């Protein structure tokens, strides 16, 4: 077995130990020097230099690692800050300033997420459009600060309703919300909507006064009425329009009758000419309108006249909204009523 031993000052030997029998009968070891080496001074300096450089490299590597770690933490902090700013910007873009609710953009995102979730779970939900009735009169009478108070109060009350998972200010005096729908009958469901309506449109207290408010609500249901966001919002808006035309202050779910009525109305509006109609020529009243009191009207004629009258009223209503509003001359309404009478007469004669 070879061993390296120091046999003198700065002198090293390569030895091998072998057993040797001594005269007294004992056994010992004898070291045989195979080679001796005197270390080179330059080699020792090189080792010292290597050790010094190794220590310096280790320090440099440690400093480099610390610098990289610090830079990584700085970049991570900058990235986190950028994400927070982006989230805050997105939140601002989706929030209404006056009420603190979501705005139209935020509501559309919530509706898209609700549809995606309902497709997976099969649950239904409702889309409601809510309008504060005669809100302009509140602004004109009490001022815009009070109007903002009314809007904020209505928004807060809508957010407090049970089963509501998204509320937004759609624009102006109109709100939109998404609500879960329990598995109950239509009558019980409508009763729940009525209770929510009464809770939301209680009087508002502000500036030492009590402000009475009312609202109209239109509702569509996923997937009963539609499965895409555009149709759900359009149908809820249709129901809201009909609710306001029926006298305001009511809740109206969308149904096929509303769709048919609005389709007829839109068709009339599309068919109206761009210019105001010329003054109609004078026309005699139809026979049934000038008949003597003792003359009975045939049932068929009465039914025809009822249908014609219904059409003429719808026609005039559309004309008032689409042609003459907002600046209609004082003589416009009498002319429109005359036009309705002519339409009534023509339809009756044709029938």
* Cα diameter, the chain: 168
Enumerate residues 6+ apart whose C-beta is below 8 A from 262.
238, 241, 242
Question: CA 183 to CA 264: how far, in whole Å?
Answer: 33
The residue among 168, 102, 160, 104 whose CA lies nearest residue 130 is: 168
β-bridge partners, 5: 13
Question: CA 121 to CA 229: how far, in whole Å?
Answer: 17
96, 131, 173, 237: the active-site residue: 173
Q: Is 96 a catalytic residue?
A: no
Task: Label residue 96 left, alpha or beta by phi (over 0 means left) and psi (-120 to 50 means alpha).
Answer: beta
In 229-291, beta strands by DSSP E: 251-253
Quick count: other Cβ atoms within 10 Å of Cβ 292?
A: 5
- Give 3-state DSSP helix, strand, coil % of the chain, rounded to 5: 55, 20, 25
Question: CA 224 to CA 239: how far, in whole Å?
Answer: 15
Show which residues are catalytic. 173
């Amino acid at each position: 077995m070879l061993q390296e031993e120091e046999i003198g000052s700065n002198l090293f030997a390569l030895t091998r130990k072998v057993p040797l029998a001594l005269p007294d009968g004992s056994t010992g070891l004898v070291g045989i020097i195979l080679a001796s080496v005197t270390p080179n001074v330059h080699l020792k300096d090189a080792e010292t230099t290597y050790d010094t450089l190794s220590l310096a490299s280790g320090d440099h590597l440690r400093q480099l690692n610390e610098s990289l770690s610090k830079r990584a933490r700085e970049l991570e902090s900058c990235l986190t800050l950028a994400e927070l700013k982006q989230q805050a910007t997105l939140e601002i873009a989706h929030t209404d300033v006056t009420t603190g609710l979501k705005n139209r953009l935020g509501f559309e995102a919530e509706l898209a997420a609700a549809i995606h979730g309902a497709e997976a779970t099969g649950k239904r939900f409702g889309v409601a459009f809510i309008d504060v009735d005669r809100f302009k009169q509140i602004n004109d009478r009490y001022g815009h600060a009070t109007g903002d108070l009314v809007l904020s109060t209505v928004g807060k009350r809508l957010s407090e309703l049970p089963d509501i998972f998204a509320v937004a200010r759609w624009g102006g005096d109109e709100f939109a919300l998404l609500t879960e729908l329990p598995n109950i009958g239509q009558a019980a469901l409508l009763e729940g909507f009525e209770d929510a309506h009464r809770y939301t449109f209680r009087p508002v207290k502000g500036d030492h006064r009590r402000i009475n408010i009312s609202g109209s609500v239109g509702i569509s249901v996923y997937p009963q009425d539609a499965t895409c966001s555009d149709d759900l919002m359009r149908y809820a808006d249709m129901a809201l329009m009909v609710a306001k035309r029926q006298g305001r202050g009511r809740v109206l779910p969308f149904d096929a009758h509303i769709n048919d009525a609005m389709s007829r109305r839109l068709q009339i509006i599309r068919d109206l000419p761009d210019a105001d109609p010329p003054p109609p020529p004078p026309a005699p009243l139809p026979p049934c309108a000038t008949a003597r009191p003792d003359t009975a009207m045939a049932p068929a004629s009465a039914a025809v006249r009822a249908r014609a009258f219904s059409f003429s009223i719808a026609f005039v209503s559309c004309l008032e909204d689409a042609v003459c509003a907002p600046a209609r001359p004082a003589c416009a309404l009498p002319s429109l009523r005359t036009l309705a009478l002519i339409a009534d007469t023509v339809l009756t004669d044709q029938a």
